[in-house]
Amino acid sequence: MKKILAVDDSASMRQMVSFTLKTAGFDVIEAKDGSEALAIAKQQDFDVVISDVNMPIMDGITLIRELRGLPNYKFTPLLMLTTESGLEKKVEGKAAGATGWIVKPFNPEQLLAVIKKVIR
């Protein structure tokens, strides 16, 4: 089973992402901010990491930069959850090593469609 790390400080978004992915047959681990996600990611490997950008303690961009620097995450798809207003965040995220982004608001179908870009 493919494993996905879902990172968001908003519990409802996290649960929605997690539930959608679990329903689609993925194994999902949740984290509520970048630093928690980083700690988890160091302990176990994931096939995909989906992270919100705006988070307390450690934001999504920093998380992606940190992850991309780890040997085990050199090629791992790292996705950002952004809003349509966050265009400059996309650029910043790409520079940090993000694979791609999902624009909020999105529905479960859209999320799964996007996930298919990086994992099958």
Partner 1 sequence: MSIDLSQFFEVFFEESFEGLDTMEAELLNLVPGEEDLETINTIFRAAHSIKGGSGTFGFSSVADFTHVLETLLDQIRQGERELSTEHVNLLLKAVDCLRGLLAALQADQATDLTEANALRMQFEHVLEKKDNVLESKPQNEAVLSTSNTYQINFKPHHHLFKTGNEPLYMISELAELGELKTTVFYDSVPDITELSYDECFLHWRFFLNTSHDEKAIKEVFEWVEDDADITVELCVRSFDDEQPASISDHNHDLVLSEQPEKLEKITTLPAKSKPSSNKDKKVASAPESTSIRVGIDKVDSLINMVGELVITQAMLNQLSEQEITSTTITSLKEGLAQLAHNTRDLQENVMRIRMLPINFVFSRFPRLVRDIAQKLNKKVELKLIGEQTELDKTVMEKISDPMVHLLRNSLDHGLETVDQRVLAGKNPVGIVTLNAFHQGGNIVIEIMDDGQGLNTKKIKEKAIANELITADSNLTDNEINELIFMPGFSTMDEVSELSGRGVGMDVVKRNIQSLNGSVEVTSAPGIGSTFTIRLPLTLAILDGQLVKVAQHTYIIPLISIVESLQIDITKVSRVGKDLDVLRLRDEYIPILRLYAIFNHQNAIESLDKTLLVVVETDNQKVGLLVDDLLSQQQVVIKSLEANYHKVDGVSGATILGDGRVSLIVDISGLIKLSGLKKPGSQELTIETQATLEAL
> Which residues would be at the binding site for partner 1 (CB under 8 A)?
9-13, 15-16, 19-20, 23-24, 52, 54-56, 68, 74-78, 81, 83, 85, 94, 97-101, 104-109, 112, 116-120
Q: Which is nearer to partner 1, 3 or 94 (CB)?
A: 94
Q: Which is nearer to partner 1, 19 or 39 (CB)?
A: 19
| DSSP helix/strand/coil, 34 | helix
Helix axes 108-115, 11-23, angle to 10 degrees: 60
Shortest distance in whole angstroms from residue 101 CB to partner 1: 7
Q: Strand 78-83: give its sheet, edge to edge.
A: 27-31, 3-7, 48-52, 78-83, 100-104
